[in-house]
Chain A
Amino acid sequence: MKMFAVSHKTAFVVDHCPYMAESSRQQVECDVLTKSRAQGVIPLAPVSKSLWTCAVECSMEYCRILYDVYPTNKLVNYIVSDSEFHILNSWRQDDQSTHELMSALAAVGPPNPREDPECCSILHGLVAAVESLCKITELQHEKRIALMDTAERVANRGRIICLTNAKSDTHVRMLEDCIQETILEQNKLAAGSDRLMAIQQCELVLVHIYPQGEDTLVSDRPKKEISPLLTSEVHSVRAGRHLATKLNVLVQQHFDLASTTITNIPMKEEQHANTSANYDVELLHHRDAHLEFFKSGDLHMAGSTSRDSGLKETVTLKWCTPRTNSIELHYCTGAYRISPTDVNSRPSSCLTNFLLNGRSVLLEQPRKSGSKVISHMLSSHGGEIFLHVLNSTRSTLEDPPSISEGCGGRVTDYRITDFGEFMRENRLAPVPESSPDPSGKLPAERAKAQLERHTRYWPMIISQTTIFNMQAVVPLANLIVKETLTEEDVLTCQKTVYNLVDMERKNDPLPISTVGSRGKGPKRDEQYRIMWNELETLVKTHAGATDRHQRVLDCIVACRSKPPEEEDRKKRGRKREDKEDRTEKNGSKEADDKSWQDSERLKALDKEEQESEVIKDSPDSPEPPNKKPRLASEEVQPPEKAKGPVSLLALWTNRITAANSRKHQEFAGRVNSVNNKAELYQHLKDENGMDVHENGKAAR
């Protein structure tokens, strides 16, 4: 259905003239006496609805179905006509609900039988309906603005459903002529207005209502063209259930609906809780849900059996007991909102409540061949029930190559769990349209920006990373990707860094991958160098974001272990002193480098950590004046300074390694190695008498 088809605008015009106050002569017994109480009680006389009541309740039912299936963009304008017209609502989306209409109808009340019939006419309402069709709707306005230079693509079509009691066929013709004239007049007016649009197509559906037991004075007439702008059809219907059936058929025609009857619904009986009887429930929905059936001709129409719905055809689908779970992702080619035909009946409400409670039901299509095919699923989402169409034919994507056979398929150490965590952090949630938008970006754009930040440094496999395999880095890694950092975040990051320094001092092992390296892999201090480099890489990608991000980088650069070097230590020593003396001789830059010469670097770092803790704990204390220059000077240092006196740590490590090596037998490979390289599978060479190196493959 096109966006601006006739169905976009429906004007209901309901006759409110004195004649409509007449009884429909269809009586309803509302005093149903139970046998035990029947004695001596005179039952209440049956009540009967007026023509007006019949018209109103059937039009409300039309709207109920319409709003259930199309909550937006299929609009109703309800007009009541007597000695003048009363417009009960507008095209605005907010006005589109049965509650709104019922409230307005209650204010109108039933027709006054004593009003002068000469003053009253349905014409007032019909003219108002044409005027109303010229009024632009929110959607038309929005699209006209969006399309700009092609705004003429926004069409203005509409339908008028007139519920009245006409006097004769001539009367009907007079009404048609009058509408035709009004359209022409209004179109002229609309040409000169911004808020009005000329009517391009109008469908008049005139429903003549007459009481039961009377003969109709107006004959049925199928749709005919009055003019290129106007078509008209006439339905002559008895009030009561005939009218209800007629409007039910009309709403299906007007909005491309079709009917499905769910059969074999097991339901507990109220009286006998242990037994369950099977019920049927009829649902209306967009007819595309039956598309596959129509095309394949495999249509099992229940025919016109549907109890009192006359000509109506319905497709029967069977309730399937093995229910589906919500974790399964079905291949679904369409989902259509439903509306139960008999919304208040017990079977209907049992089914809808069952679905509204979050359960889904698979439906089976009975086929001529007798084979079972699951073709549909009923499921509710947010209080709305949808009929999902499931694909039941062969897939053209069957038997595809597995992902493990393609690019990257042979890699086994993907950070699957970490990426899972990443996905959880980058889940989406609806943001109210009214919520403020500081960056001027839509929420989805902000979500993409977050993904960009989170992936600036994101190694895909475990063996490519050290820091993401370390619990100790997690707090920093989680914080640094944020768009802005709080002071507290910076402190947490700094703490993480100090913690790493501490680990390095204690010589804690690092989860460095040994893939691709022989023996134990790199030495511990090399491991730490790798780790610091990686951490620096991560933080550098964010350092430009804010000053606080930069401070985290500064902290890392300041703290990361550099191989000890004389001058470096001198500098550090001086600064330590500076800081220690700060309180007494603040500002004095020249200090002698006495004892620091001999102290080891790690001790200094330890000291720095303590100092920083002090700063951390009292954020109000002044920034050390010489901090910045120091950092700057350190940054320009060449990163690699491998030479220098052996540190105590190195001495100690070597000693321990030597001691340990005596406690076990050395690997044969290492013993026989040449230049620390051992040849593997030597026995193959011996056995085959072939040089394995020659074919170049086994050597690895």
Chain B
Amino acid sequence: MPTVVLMDVSLSMTRPVSLDGSEEFQRKNLAVHGLTMLFEHMAANYRLEFTALVAFSSLWEHLVPFTRDYNALQEALSNLEDYDKTCVESALHGVSNIVQQEWGSSCPCQVVLVTDGSLGIGKGSLRHSLHTLKQRGDDKKFPLPFPFPAKMFIMCVANAEELQMTDAMDNLEELLRLSGGEGQIFTMEGPLCLKSVQAMFGRLIDQAYSPFHAVLHCGNLSSDVQVFPRPEPVVVDDEVEPMPRTVSTDLEIVGFIEIGDISSPPVISRHLVLPIAVNKEVDEVGTGTTDEPEEEASASQMAGKSPNFCVLLHGSLKVEGMVALVQLGPDWYGMLYSQADSKKKSNLMMSLFEPGPEPLPWLGKISHLGPISEAAENPYGEDDSKSPFPVQPQIKRSYAQNVTVWIKASGLQTDVQKILRNARKLPEKTQTFYKELNRLRKAALAFGFWELLKGVAELLERECTMLPDSAHPDAAFQLSHAAQQLKLASTGDSQYAAFDHNIAPMHTDFSS
């Protein structure tokens, strides 16, 4: 889930923070200090996150495009300049554009808005934007909610009390609500100082950037893993089940399925599954900038050399072309598979299915997938020549069962012509003739279209009179028999007009 840091560089951010005696700080310095802490945390523990930095005042500037290079972000942060007044709306437009350009509109993003809570004055101020919300044309729509799923974290370098004195807090709450409500407003507790800004960003880190650690189990084999990005809680139907579902920290493999059988299933999210060394508190992803590089290196070398289940699993999944079905919680499943990128690198990936007992119709209910050893006969065949998948639905779909639709005249004409064509080839086409005739009869009865039955009966009688002399005598018998049966059906007489009744060919014997 990429992050956009939206940094307020308006003049109000340069307001000094009153501290007893010591060095003088601006609010901006505090904000930079907090962001530095965030970037350091990400570099160490959340390294795969893409982050972009945008500075804004009345204009906005894309300082650092999405990157995993936290030094670059850090550097940009230290070179911030001061500008004029705050204009949140235009900045949010900027964020919207940047994210959509890079990730499209389905990728969830996090927006970290860092401000001092003075939200501009006059036109372009947040107050003004929110006031005029309803009087806008389609071309000047407010950028929230974003077209992509977003979480907005508003970091205020100010106390809650300070914000409540003006309407700033109300406006920020409204902003959060407009963004979809997923997110939070953070304010500083106690005096504005380095310590309290650290505490505030610490809360953000806990809330949004703590790595997700889990244990992957396959029976008695297991491995400690980090799942990146963090799987987010999911709400399927807020009416029936308003509590969001979260992925369990114990990921249990249920069994294995061929890639061809699972066949490109729809997933709600994808995650890397990275094995981590058990004894280390920080995870493996965040090597790179550490205080003791030598010790670190040897520790990771050690970890590299002791066998890990993830690597074994990944290797075999890749070689066999299979996926592992993994349970993420009650009635929630996903799959583990090997994902290769272009450069020979490959990885263990986990995709999450939609929560529910039957996420993929072609597998049936997951809870009803059992071990093949229980079956009397191997469902895959002794030589792997067959497969129990896909599971067939009980009723065929319309396109798989030759339904009759006469909404367009052409549909009806085609069906009548089919009967006539076969009628002219009697007795060779007796079977097809009656099959088509019965199909038409059934539909005509269901639609209450008795007139058609009479019409087709007349057509068949006419065909009978037009039979060439060379025609087989059976043809005439069958045609008049069929015509008569249709006429009887068209009276609605229950004896002849039953839906499940079929007109059978007349029994004739010309062999003797």
Contact = CB atoms under 8 A, between A and B. Distances in A.
Given A102-B446, A400-B347, A448 B254 contact: yes
A384 B393 contact: yes
A447 B344 CA distance: 33
A86 B106 CA distance: 48
A382 B371 CA distance: 21
A45 B452 CA distance: 11
A292 B307 contact: no
Given A241-B408, A410-B305, A393 B219 contact: no
B308 A408 contact: yes
Given A41-B466, A403-B345, A428-B372, 11 more contacts: A56-B448, A241-B407, A291-B106, A379-B264, A381-B361, A400-B341, A403-B346, A411-B308, A417-B316, A422-B316, A429-B372
A446 interface: yes
Contacts of A217: none
Nearest to B366: A444
17 contacts: A28-B413, A58-B407, A67-B395, A71-B397, A106-B498, A327-B260, A333-B268, A382-B362, A383-B397, A396-B229, A400-B48, A406-B308, A407-B310, A408-B275, A417-B316, A422-B316, A452-B220
Interface string B206-244: 000000000000111101000011000000011111100
B413 A415 contact: no
B362 A4 contact: no
B148 A340 contact: no
B319 A3 contact: no
Interface string B19-59: 00000000000000000000000000000101000000000
Interface stretch (B96-104, B185-193, B477-485): B96-104
Contacts of A419: 312-313, 315-316
A402 B266 contact: no
Contacts of B399: 68, 339-340, 343, 348-349, 352, 356, 385
B96 to A, nearest CB: 11
Interface string A466-502: 0000000000000000100000000000000000000
A511 interface: no
Contacts of B348: 403
Contact of A451 (B253, B257, B449, B459): B253
Interface string B260-271: 101111111011
Contact of A29 (B242, B351, B413): B413
Interface string B378-420: 0110001000111111011111100111111111111011000
A394 B107 CA distance: 9
Interface residues of A, number: 138
A458 B272 contact: no
Interface string B347-367: 111010000000001111111
A115 interface: no
Contacts of B409: 28-29
A460 to B, nearest CB: 4
B405 A57 contact: yes
A224 to B, nearest CB: 23
A403 B371 contact: no
B122 to A, nearest CB: 31
B49 to A, nearest CB: 8
Contacts of A404: 311
A207 interface: no
Contacts of A28: 406, 409, 412-413
Q: Which 3 A-B pairs have the closest CB atoms?
A: A408-B308, A443-B370, A393-B104
Given A103-B500, A381-B263, A447-B371, A394 B308 contact: no
A4 B239 contact: yes
Contacts of B321: 327
B365 A396 contact: no
Contact of A326 (B1, B260, B322, B403): B260
A400 B341 CA distance: 9
B427 interface: no
A367 interface: no
Contacts of B458: 44
Contact of A431 (B104, B370, B380): B370
Given A32-B417, A452-B219, A44 B103 contact: no
B462 interface: yes
B105 A295 contact: yes
Contacts, number: 432
Interface string B478-511: 0000000000000010000111100000000000
Interface residues of B, number: 149
Given A392-B104, A444-B254, A427 B372 contact: yes
B345 A344 contact: no
A382 B311 contact: no
B303 A408 contact: yes
B346 A460 contact: no
Contacts of B301: 410
A653 interface: no
A31 to B, nearest CB: 6
A30 B413 contact: yes
Contacts of A339: 397-399
Contacts of B257: 427-428
A425 interface: yes
B106 A393 contact: yes
A453 interface: yes
Nearest to A154: B240
B368 A430 contact: yes
A575 B336 CA distance: 55
Interface stretch (A47-55, A190-198, A532-540, A664-672): A47-55
B455 interface: yes
B116 interface: no
B462 A41 contact: yes
B463 to A, nearest CB: 10
Interface string B118-152: 00000000000000000000000000000110000
Interface centre among A31, A349, A402, A428 (most CB of B within 10 A): A428
Interface centre among B396, B398, B462, B498 (most CB of A within 10 A): B398
A179 interface: no
Interface in B445-459: 445-452, 455-456, 458-459
B277 interface: yes
B103 A394 contact: yes
A342 B403 CA distance: 11
Contacts of A420: 316, 319-320, 322
Contact of A382 (B238, B366, B379, B390): B390
A296 interface: yes
A135 interface: no
